[in-house]
Amino acid sequence: MKLSENTISVLKNFATINQNLLIREGNTLTTMSAMKNIVAQAEVEETFPKEIAIYDLNEFLSSLSLFSNPLLQFGENSVLIVEENNNYNALKYFYSDPSVVTTPSKSITMPETEVSFNLKSSDLTKLKRAAGVIGAPDMSLTQQGQDVMLSVCDKKNDTANTYSLDVDTNGTNSDNYRFYFKVENLKLIDGDYTVAVSSKNISHFKNGQVEYWIALEPDSTYEA
C-alpha cells in the first residue's frame, strides 16, 4: 500500500491531536485527544487491511520520511516499510498494544444545533494568526446586534486585546449567546468549514472528508 499525500496530511494533523492512533480495518481514521475534548474523523482513499495500533504517530511519520516512495506491507505484528522498486531498503515498524492507545470507543451523535455558519479558510488563518500575535487563549462566538462575531480574546481579562471578524450564520433561535472555545483546541486542517454549534457545549467542524467535534468551554451561555 502507498499512502496518498492527502492521507499523510491527515495523519500529520491527527498527530497534533494525539500522539498515538488506532487504525481500524477499512478506510476511516479516527482520533481523540487525551483530554477527550477533541474527536476527529477522516475518510481516506486507502483501505487498511487490519487493525493497527501506533503509539508514537510522529515517529511513524518520520519513519516514512526516510523513504522517497514508501510502500507499506502489513504483517501480523509489524508493518514493513520499503522503498518502491527496492525491497532491500526497508524498515520494520512494530505495532503497539491497542490497550495503551487512546481512541474513541463509539461514534459521536451531534445534538440539535442552535447556530451554524460557514468559516472560510482565510478567516480561520486570520483568527489563528491573531491569537498568536496578541496571545489570546480563547475564541468566542457571539451575536452583536445584526452581526455574529468570531473573536479571539482572553475572556478572563476585560482589558486584553481582541481581534474579531463577522460570519454569516444560517439562522439561529436566539440573539443572546456566547459560545467559548479554547484556541489550542482548533487543531484543524486548513480549508473551508461548515460549523455547527450546540448549546450542549459541543461543536462540529466539517471540511470535505475530514470532520472534528470540539468541546466548548463550560461557561458558554445560550438563551432560547
DSSP 207-224: ETTEEEEEEPPTT-EEE-
pLDDT value at 62 more than 90: yes
- Over residues 180-221, the pLDDT tens digits come to 999 999 999 999 999 999 999 999 999 988 999 999 999 999
- Over residues 128-138, the pLDDT tens digits come to 999 999 999 99
Alpha carbon of residue 62 to chain centroid? 20
Top-level class of domain 115-223: alpha beta
- Over residues 144-186, the pLDDT tens digits come to 767 889 999 999 998 999 999 998 887 665 668 899 999 999 9
Overall residue count recorded for the chain in this entry: 224
pLDDT value at 7 more than 70: yes
For 98, the grid coordinates are 491497542
What is the spatial distance between Cα 206 and Cα 128, in angstroms, rounded to a whole number? 18
Dihedral over alpha carbons 64, 70, 74, 77 (to 10 degrees)? -40
Q: Which CATH number fits domain 5-100: 2.30.42.10, 3.70.10.10, 3.40.50.1820, 3.40.30.10?
A: 3.70.10.10
Average pLDDT of the chain?
93
pLDDT value at 95 more than 90: yes
Per DSSP, the three-state class of 122 is: helix
What is the spatial distance between Cα 46 and Cα 152, in angstroms, rounded to a whole number? 37
Task: Note whether 5-100 and 115-223 share their fold.
Answer: yes
Q: Which bin fits 85, alpha (ψ -120 to 50), beta or left (φ > 0)?
A: left
Indicate the domain borders of the chain. 5-100, 115-223
Please state, in angstroms and as integers, the Cα–Cα distance from residue 46 to each residue in 24, 77, 204, following that order: 12, 20, 25
Q: Which bin fits 142, alpha (ψ -120 to 50), beta or left (φ > 0)?
A: beta
Query: Residue 47 has what pLDDT?
Result: 96
Q: Which residues pair with 172 in a beta bridge?
A: 115
- Banded pLDDT at 82 (limits 50, 70, 90): very high
Per DSSP, the three-state class of 92 is: strand
